[in-house]
Amino acid sequence: MFNIPHVWQVTYKTGSNANPNMNKFKRAALTNVSIVHNDGLDLHAAHADGVPIITSMTLNFREVDIITRNDQQEAAGQGF
């Protein structure tokens, strides 16, 4: 009856550590994936093995948890 989405925790990283200078995100569901090959080129271009020379991937997320005033205060200027 319901489609329950996979939920992700999106985090900005510097190396393997969370970047404390960037805003935080609540848990989020992936709502769309878009892949474009060779965007902006007039012709199809590929490496010798057939792989496109430019590939862009866009991921869209929607937060599933409510952002509260307490969340904003705890974020200490690095809000949601």
Is residue 79 situated within a structural domain?
no
**What total of structural domains would you count in the chain?**
1
Is residue 74 situated within a structural domain?
no
Is residue 26 situated within a structural domain?
yes
Q: Which domain holds residue 45?
A: 7-66
Is residue 78 situated within a structural domain?
no
pLDDT at position 75 is 78
Contacts of 10 by beta carbon, 8 Å cutoff, 6+ apart: 25, 28, 61
Q: Residue with structure tokens 């965007």?
A: 39
The CA distance from 72 to 80, in Å, is 7
The per-residue pLDDT string of the chain (80 residues; one tens digit each, 9 = 90 and over) reads 777 788 999 999 999 998 888 888 899 999 999 999 998 888 889 999 999 999 999 999 999 999 888 888 887 767 66
pLDDT at position 47 is 94
Is residue 58 situated within a structural domain?
yes
